[in-house]
Amino acid sequence: MSCEYFADKGMKIDGNYWLVHPQTGVAWNSTSIEDYKQTYEAQQIVVAEERLKAEKANQLAAIKEAVFNKLNDEQWRVQKAQEHLLMAELAGDQAEIGLGKAHLAELLEQREQIRLASDKAELTLADISTSKELEEFTFDVNNSL
């Protein structure tokens, strides 16, 4: 959006020409032109900051949802490993117990790596201060390991 004054057409505000000040209805003069431009620019900065904040919040929610879904979808693997470990313990098979514990530990470590990648992405997202940086930011839960 833009704000520019033309002597013959008036103030062009967001593509529309105003022969008079839109809030006061008074003809433009050098003071009102400068005051309006400063106010307009300040408003645009606030709007851009609010938009960035909203986009960051949406991105954060998307990260959290993706990680939750990934961990939830993979929970069956942990349950299966726990069941195999329990069967080995009930059978008293020490070799299977060792393998079962190692497999369960590996699955739990993978889950923790997903959480750590999510935490890192959230911290990176919190440090973003421009729309361009936000556009360049990506997080893929499937490639986070």
| Domain layout of the chain by residue ranges | 3-46, 55-143
Is 97 a residue whose pLDDT tops 90? yes
Query: Which amino acid type is present at position 9?
Result: K
**pTM, 2 dp:** 0.76
**Long-range contacts of residues 34-43, Cβ cutoff 8 Å, at least 24 apart:** 36/3, 36/11, 37/3, 37/5, 40/3, 40/13, 41/3
Give the per-residue pLDDT at 2.
Answer: 84
Share of the chain above pLDDT 70, in %: 98
Confidence of residue 75 (pLDDT cuts 50, 70, 90): very high
